[in-house]
Amino acid sequence: TTRMMVAHVLPILLAALISLAALEMGAVLMLLGELGFVGIFIGGGAFAELDVGATLYHYSDVPEWGSLLSGARLYARSYPWLAIYPALAFFIAIVGFNLFGEGIRRMIETVGVGFGKLFNRYTLSLALGGLLIFGWARANTGSIAYYRQQARAFDGQLALAQVGQLTAPEFQGRSLGTEGMGDSADWIAQQFESLGLFNGGENATYFQNRTREFTQINSPAQLGIWDGDPALTYRTDFVEYPGYFSAVGEASGQVRALLTGTLSRGSFGARSRPALERALGKDDLLLVLSEDVASVAEFAPHSGLLVVASDPEDMQRHYTISGRDLIVSNYLTGELTGKHTPALWITEEIANRLLQGTGETVASLRRQQTSLGTDEVTVIDTGVDVSMTVDGTIVDQFPARHVIGYLPGVSGRAGSGDTSFDKDLPGGSAQGRSVDQALDNKLIVVMAQYDSAPIPPDEAHEAANFNASGVAVMLEAIRAMQASEYQPYRSYLFVAYAGEGQDGGEPIRPGDVRKFLQAHVGFTSAFEVEGVILLQGLGDGSGDGLEIAAGGNQRLSSLFDTSAGRMGVKAGPANDAVDISIVFEDRALQTGEGQEAPMVTLSWAGWQETARLPGDTLATISADKLEQAGEALLLGMMVMGRENTY
């Protein structure tokens, strides 16, 4: 029975398990030491060239027991004393675990252990009470409690007013290609200046000048199916497809459904797929079943592309159409080659209408596609003729500006010294004087996209939640922080960036923050980016709390999860995959991928449901959601800015 297990069996087992666990720890440490000595340990480490032309030195980069002895094997004969200290650490730990385990075992055999006397209702109640008191004291005393008090200064109504300003008609939705986009950048710069931020842009301004390439859609696209059934409706049945290339052009002909297995890359470029190129012709008008297949079909011979949308809501969303032109000029002769090939998103219902004569459906073809092997391609003639037209203009070199403000750490400010914030902080102003010099070259980047997709030909948009809300929360967080006379030891860079279109033919990567540092002379060499906070979709969402996406970076994820909890805000991690391949800074510099520093994204759960839709308006924004998100953000920022460890 349960009573017998608790009163008689478990006390005996627990005592024996403690002894066995201690003995096993000693055995495991001995094994780790042996494996580490021969170079087998956790963490790959790195190689360093200590002397020019000398043998590369390998060192570990993970604080693990086995790595303590990993570098001693090569010098065991010539310099045997190199291993003395790590070996001594192993010896003491192993002997300690063995003595403890053996002592517990012998004590049990001679005098016995009465766990029932140690673990009863009184000791458990005392332990629980102690934990509660410790938790309360930790949350309500010290610097964290003071930060939390200051974070309460975030005002959701003021943030809502900022969203209202950014969605005003004169800013034209801050759409790429409009004057309103530039006007909104000017307004954000004025806010930065009024909030006391230093300029972090080019030529002593708040701006970093860039250019954008995109396609401006001039009139609604057209799609006709010549099967005698009713005509199709723009933005209900079809819409322009935001693929790798511009979607403009005209095409007509018989539709061919394309199914592919895993396709091998060719020898000429990463986009080349020889199996696809052999199966298709330049006059083929293709129907593909997913965006993944479309991403390779765009580079294969075809005259037009119909892509089955994975989400019917995509018919209503406003995306920026790529400005990459399929018509290119020969470098030597100047001769133009290539042609415009239109691309449209269509719903699954329209795709089934095209497939009606084949006896197949989108669902059945998707099942067939999953069974295809490597480099297997199936092309099905539907027997249905269609015509499609996408009327647009490729815009090149459109001026766009990032807005950058800078808040230096304490020792980086002229006339910095004791402030009311430091004096009021538990421990006094001298508490951090010894660490501010070491931390002000560390940089925390807080950023939010301020622009939106180009205005479509049929309707305007406000883009309130995505992403006027992110910019508004950032501005209000700055105001609340400055009003408290908060003095960070680390420096801050606040960025409202232009994120639509392509920059030099490449998409904008917010994680590559080094490009923002290049705007101000000296920033790149003066600062080490310690963390990046991205804000988006913070004013509306179907969920009941904050969503924290950190790509597997548990340090930042835990910080903002804890900060939200301390402010009484429900929060949780997003369902993002852990990216164990990210190597901060080195990978970003060499390939332009990954992140230069750990990055966390704060959003309201369910914000994607209205993103880029016409219904994303000021009326849907909640001041309460803005305030909850802002308080969690502000507390996390204050901890990051002053605490030596977090």
Assign 3-class secondary structure to 507-524: ECCCCCCHHHHCCCCCHH
Q: How confident is the model at residue 457 (pLDDT cuts 50, 70, 90)?
A: confident
Q: Is the pLDDT of residue 398 over 90?
A: yes
Q: What pLDDT is recorded for position 634? A: 97
Residues 592 and 638 grouped into a single domain: yes
Q: Is the four-CA dihedral 470, 593, 398, 406 of positive or negative sign?
A: positive
Q: What pLDDT is recorded for position 416? A: 46
Q: What is the DSSP secondary structure assignment for residue 62, as one 8-state letter?
A: S
Rounded to an integer, the average pLDDT of 332-357 is 88
- Distance (Å, rounded) from C-alpha 288 to C-alpha 280? 13
Amino acid (1-letter code) at residue 184: S
- Angle, helices 469-483/156-166, rounded to nearest 10 degrees: 140
Q: Which two tokens stand for residue 497?
A: 């960036």
N-to-C CA span, the chain: 47
Structural domain boundaries, residue 39: 2-119
Q: How confident is the model at residue 116 (pLDDT cuts 50, 70, 90)?
A: low
Rounded to an integer, the average pLDDT of 470-481 is 97
- Assess if residue 146 is contained within a domain: no
Q: Is the pLDDT of residue 418 over 50?
A: no
- Distance (Å, rounded) from C-alpha 73 to C-alpha 376? 51
Q: Which two tokens stand for residue 467?
A: 């992403």
Q: Which two tokens stand for residue 192?
A: 């930065």
Q: What pLDDT is recorded for position 415? A: 45
Q: What pLDDT is recorded for position 135? A: 78
CA-to-CA dists, residue 158 to 450, 617, 622, angstroms: 18, 17, 12
Q: What pLDDT is recorded for position 311? A: 92
Rounded to an integer, the average pLDDT of 371-381 is 95
Long-range contacts (CB closer than 8 Å, 24 or more residues apart) made by 56-65: 64/32, 65/29, 65/32, 65/33, 65/36, 65/90
Q: Is the pLDDT of residue 628 over 50?
A: yes
In contact, 347 and 309? CB cutoff 8 Å: yes
- Distance (Å, rounded) from C-alpha 162 to C-alpha 541? 19
- Distance (Å, rounded) from C-alpha 590 to C-alpha 587? 5
Which residues are registered as beta bridge partners of 491?
443
How confident is the model over 386-395, as pLDDT tens digits?
999 999 999 9
Residues 254 and 313 grouped into a single domain: yes
Rounded to an integer, the average pLDDT of 522-539 is 94
SS3 404: strand
Residues 500 and 558 grouped into a single domain: yes
Q: Which two tokens stand for residue 357?
A: 């004569």
- Distance (Å, rounded) from C-alpha 287 to C-alpha 260? 12
Residues 201 and 230 grouped into a single domain: no
How confident is the model over 306-322, as pLDDT tens digits?
999 999 999 999 999 99
Rounded to an integer, the average pLDDT of 101-126 is 74
Number of domains in the chain: 3
Residues 13 and 83 grouped into a single domain: yes
Q: What pLDDT is recorded for position 39? A: 72
Q: What pLDDT is recorded for position 579? A: 41
Q: Which two tokens stand for residue 366?
A: 């998707």
* Share of residues in the chain with pLDDT > 90 (%): 58
Rounded to an integer, the average pLDDT of 177-186 is 97
**From 348-352, 500-504, 574-578, the region with the lowest mean pLDDT:** 574-578
Backbone angles phi, psi at 456, to 5 degrees: -70, 165
122 or 51, which is more confident? 122
- The residue among 58, 92, 119 that closes a domain is 119
- Distance (Å, rounded) from C-alpha 462 to C-alpha 175? 9
Rounded to an integer, the average pLDDT of 17-23 is 85
* CA-closest candidate to residue 589, choices 529, 499, 519, 522: 529
Residues 383 and 423 grouped into a single domain: no
**From 229-243, 270-284, 567-581, the region with the lowest mean pLDDT:** 567-581
Q: Is the pLDDT of residue 197 over 80?
A: yes
SS3 306: strand
- Assess if residue 142 is contained within a domain: no
- Distance (Å, rounded) from C-alpha 537 to C-alpha 467? 6
Q: Which two tokens stand for residue 487?
A: 């003095």
- Assess if residue 202 is contained within a domain: yes
Residues 276 and 207 grouped into a single domain: no
Q: What pLDDT is recorded for position 78? A: 74
Run of H or E residues at 642: helix 623-642
Residues in the chain, how many?
A: 646
How confident is the model over 52-64, as pLDDT tens digits?
666 666 666 556 7
Q: Is the four-CA dihedral 268, 271, 275, 276 of positive or negative sign?
A: negative
Q: How confident is the model at residue 184 (pLDDT cuts 50, 70, 90)?
A: very high
Q: What pLDDT is recorded for position 323? A: 93
Q: How confident is the model at residue 587 (pLDDT cuts 50, 70, 90)?
A: very low
- The residue among 330, 361, 390 that closes a domain is 390
Q: What is the CATH number of the domain that holds 633?
A: 3.40.630.10
Rounded to an integer, the average pLDDT of 598-621 is 95
* CA-closest candidate to residue 252, choices 173, 151, 341, 169: 341
Most confident stretch, 225-229, 403-407, 581-585: 403-407
Q: Tell me the pLDDT of the chain averaged across its residues.
A: 85
Rounded to an integer, the average pLDDT of 394-414 is 86
Q: How confident is the model at residue 358 (pLDDT cuts 50, 70, 90)?
A: very high
Residues 308 and 275 grouped into a single domain: yes
SS3 180: helix
Computed over its alpha carbons, how large is the radius of gyration of the chain? 31
Q: How confident is the model at residue 179 (pLDDT cuts 50, 70, 90)?
A: very high
Q: Which two tokens stand for residue 556?
A: 């930042």
Residues 277 and 315 grouped into a single domain: yes
- Assess if residue 125 is contained within a domain: no
Q: How confident is the model at residue 593 (pLDDT cuts 50, 70, 90)?
A: very low
- The residue among 94, 119, 144 that closes a domain is 119
Q: Which residue has the tokens 């403009």?
A: 248
- Distance (Å, rounded) from C-alpha 599 to C-alpha 580? 14
Which residues are registered as beta bridge partners of 604?
546
How confident is the model over 502-521, as pLDDT tens digits?
998 888 888 889 899 999 99
Q: Is the pLDDT of residue 207 over 60?
A: yes
**From 135-139, 234-238, 599-603, the region with the lowest mean pLDDT:** 135-139
How many other C-beta atoms can be found within 10 angstroms of the C-beta atom of residue 591? 8
* CA-closest candidate to residue 488, choices 357, 636, 304, 288: 636
Residues 286 and 417 grouped into a single domain: no
Q: Is the pLDDT of residue 326 over 90?
A: no
In contact, 198 and 520? CB cutoff 8 Å: no
Q: Is the pLDDT of residue 42 over 80?
A: no
Residues 408 and 386 grouped into a single domain: no
Residues 496 and 629 grouped into a single domain: yes
426 or 205, which is more confident? 205
Q: What pLDDT is recorded for position 515? A: 92
Cβ-proximal residues to 12 (8 Å cutoff; 6+ apart), any chain: none
Beta strands (DSSP E) in 472-584 are: 491-497, 502-503, 506-507, 528-535, 546-549, 571-573
Long-range contacts (CB closer than 8 Å, 24 or more residues apart) made by 50-59: none
**From 93-107, 335-349, 407-421, the region with the lowest mean pLDDT:** 407-421
- Distance (Å, rounded) from C-alpha 534 to C-alpha 225? 44
Q: Is 30 left (phi over 0), alpha (psi -120 to 50) or beta?
A: alpha
Q: What pLDDT is recorded for position 590? A: 33
Q: Which residue has the tokens 């052009």?
A: 249
Q: What pLDDT is recorded for position 423? A: 52
- Assess if residue 126 is contained within a domain: no
CA-to-CA dists, residue 446 to 464, 535, 573, 633, angstroms: 19, 8, 19, 10
Q: Which two tokens stand for residue 405?
A: 């403000």
- Assess if residue 180 is contained within a domain: yes
Q: What pLDDT is recorded for position 46? A: 56
Q: What is the CATH number of the domain that holds 342?
A: 3.50.30
Peptide bond between residue 467 and the one before it cis (omega within 30 degrees of 0): yes
Long-range contacts (CB closer than 8 Å, 24 or more residues apart) made by 30-35: 30/90, 30/94, 32/64, 32/65, 32/66, 33/65, 33/66, 33/68, 33/69, 33/87, 33/90, 33/94, 35/66
In contact, 500 and 453? CB cutoff 8 Å: yes
Amino acid (1-letter code) at residue 195: L
- Assess if residue 638 is contained within a domain: yes
Q: What is the DSSP secondary structure assignment for residue 234, as one 8-state letter?
A: B
Run of H or E residues at 424: helix 420-424
pTM of the model: 0.79
Rounded to an integer, the average pLDDT of 580-596 is 39
* CA-closest candidate to residue 421, choices 149, 31, 221: 149
